[in-house]
């Protein structure tokens, strides 16, 4: 089966082509048109600006994806498209494009939940792979951490899961983005903080909200406020005693180190909570595997710490490859296929954007 997948839930316009047969999946192409530069100016995504950019990119990205896959549009057997959750104006672009294609080509379509796609994204490998046997992987605990979501799921099987917890306020990626802005770093903040953190040490003990709570919920908005107060109450540098050029250079270096220590401490606080809560969930539900997906899964420290903690507990660890951590259409195609092989297609009249779709 040839599946064309489309993703436009936030600020990436993406298309992918997958060839599937039983448990075998071949990823023929996966293209992403990023709007990062566009949204860097506003330090975040402005929905209408994002939607306009999706409208410009959607046909070129689908065309490129088909071309790279060496597949003609008329050869596609099914469509998979993200219908939610996400920004409504962005979702409408992908949903309506896919709907029109399905109608014109007379092929079935699958409405995909974006978070469900992040859950299964660790199974994506390039260029071909085999879906593992159920009993080797499940039950699993999935941590989905992105700019809009921080959620933990118990994954009992393919397409069978239960939400165990979620953030009560900001998402982990949002916390990276907001603290980066406080530190004068560019958007998106996650990669900028993790880069700066490499030259610092986590010497500041920022709060770990809800770490001790007897549930799997998160709260990150207090951490952003703690950074704000820390910046307000702590001066980066001792008073200047003399002003030689070497003295000024020393002050610049000290200032840079001070900032790097804050970045390292913010990252350590976020990672600490994510790792400990995920491991607690694996113990409670006797999970065999930890699955890590979503944009923040690209964070090196989170990957290392979660892998080490999982190994210590003799649990498999599967993280989405960095290119499939941030938004992409390959993961939408994979979930589309999981539904298609059960013949669970979505009737065209029911195909509509669902900005607040909770799973």
Instruction: Tell whether omega for the bond before 188 is within 30 degrees of 0, i.e. cis.
Output: yes
Contact present, 28 and 69 (Cβ < 8 Å): yes
Nearer to Zn ion by Cβ, of 114 and 178: the residue is: 114
What residue 177 binds from ligand KG4, Zn ion, none (CB within 5 to 8 A, per partner kind)?
A: ligand KG4
Q: Which is nearer to ligand KG4, 3 or 292 (CB)?
A: 292
Helices and strands (H, E) in the chain, number of each type: 12, 11
204-234 burial string, b = 16+ CB within 10 Å, else e?
bebebbbeeeeebbbbbebbbebbeeebeee
Nearer to ligand KG4, 188 or 200 (CB): 188
Name the residue nearer to Zn ion (CB basis): 216 or 324. 324
Which is nearer to ligand KG4, 247 or 322 (by Cβ)? 322
At its nearest, how many Å lie between Zn ion and the CB of residue 82?
Answer: 9
Interaction between residue 146 and Zn ion (CB under 5 A): yes
Tell me the window of 42-50, 143-151, 266-274, 344-352 that interacts with Zn ion (CB under 5 A): 143-151
DSSP 8-state symbol, 205: -
| Shortest Cβ 87–Zn ion spacing (Å) | 11
The interface region with Zn ion, picked from 144-152, 247-255, 298-306, 330-338 by CB under 5 A, is 144-152
Q: Give the shortest CB-149-to-Zn ion separation in angstroms.
A: 7
Q: What is the DSSP letter of 238?
A: P
Cis peptide leading into residue 139 (ω within 30°): yes
Closer residue to ligand KG4, CB minimum distance, 295 or 336: 295
108 neighbors 78 (Cβ within 8 angstroms): yes
Closest CA to 188 of 12, 7, 9: 12
**Least Å from the CB of residue 173 to ligand KG4:** 3
Q: Residue 147: which of ligand KG4, Zn ion, none does it interact with, CB under 5 to 8 A by kind?
A: ligand KG4
Among Zn ion, ligand KG4, none, residue 296 binds (CB under 5-8 Å by kind): ligand KG4
Report how far residue 164's alpha carbon sits from residue 304's, in angstroms, rounded to the nearest whole number: 23
Question: What is the 3-state composition of the chain as percent helix, strand, coil, each rounded to the nearest 5?
Answer: 50, 20, 30
Q: Cα-flanking dihedrals φ and ψ of residue 344, to 5°?
A: -95, 80
Six-digit token string for 280: 């607690």
Q: What angle do CA 68, 96, 48 make, to 5 degrees?
A: 95
Question: Which entry of ligand KG4, Zn ion, none binds 209, CB below 5 to 8 A by partner kind?
Answer: none
Select 20 or 326, whichever has its Cβ closest to ligand KG4.
326
Closest to 8 in 3D by CA, of 40, 41, 44, 56: 56
Residues that bind ligand KG4 (CB under 6 A): 10, 146-148, 173, 176-177, 188-191, 194, 294-296, 298-299, 326-327
Query: Least distance from C-beta 114 to Zn ion, angstroms?
Result: 6
327 binds Zn ion (CB under 5 A): yes
> Cβ-closest residue to Zn ion?
146
Q: Give the shortest CB-295-to-Zn ion separation in angstroms.
A: 6
Q: Which residues here bind Zn ion, judged by CB under 5 A?
A: 146, 327
């Amino acid at each position: 089966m040839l599946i064309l997948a489309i993703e436009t839930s936030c600020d990436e316009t993406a298309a992918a082509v997958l060839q599937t047969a039983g448990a075998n999946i071949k990823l023929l192409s996966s293209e992403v048109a990023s709007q990062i530069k566009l949204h860097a100016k506003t330090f975040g995504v402005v929905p209408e600006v994002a939607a306009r950019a999706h409208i410009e990119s959607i046909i070129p990205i689908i065309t490129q994806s088909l071309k790279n896959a060496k597949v003609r549009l008329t050869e596609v057997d099914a469509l998979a498209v993200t219908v939610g959750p996400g920004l409504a104006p962005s979702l409408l672009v992908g949903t309506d494009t896919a709907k029109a294609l399905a109608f014109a080509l007379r092929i079935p379509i699958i409405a995909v939940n974006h978070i469900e796609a992040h859950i299964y994204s660790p199974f994506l490998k390039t260029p071909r792979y085999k879906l593992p046997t159920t009993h080797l992987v499940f039950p699993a605990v999935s941590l989905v951490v992105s700019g809009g979501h921080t959620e933990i799921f118990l994954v009992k099987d393919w397409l069978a899961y239960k939400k165990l917890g979620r953030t009560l306020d900001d998402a982990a990626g949002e916390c990276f983005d907001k603290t980066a802005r406080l530190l004068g770093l560019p958007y998106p903040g996650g990669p900028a903080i993790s880069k700066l953190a490499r030259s610092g040490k986590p010497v500041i003990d920022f709060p770990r909200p809800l770490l001790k709570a007897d549930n799997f919920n998160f709260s990150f908005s207090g951490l952003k406020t703690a950074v704000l107060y820390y910046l307000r109450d702590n001066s980066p540098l001792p008073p200047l005693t003399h002003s030689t050029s070497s003295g000024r250079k020393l002050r610049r270096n000290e200032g840079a180190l001070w900032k790097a220590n804050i970045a390292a401490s913010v990252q350590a606080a976020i990672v600490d909570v994510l790792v400990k809560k995920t491991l607690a969930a694996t113990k409670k539900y006797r999970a065999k595997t930890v699955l890590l997906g979503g944009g923040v899964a690209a964070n090196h420290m989170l990957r290392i710490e979660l892998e080490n903690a999982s190994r210590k507990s003799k649990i498999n660890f599967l993280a989405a490859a960095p290119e499939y951590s941030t938004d992409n259409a390959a993961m939408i195609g994979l979930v589309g296929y999981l539904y298609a092989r059960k013949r669970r297609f979505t009737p065209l009249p029911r195909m509509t954007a669902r900005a607040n779709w909770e799973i």
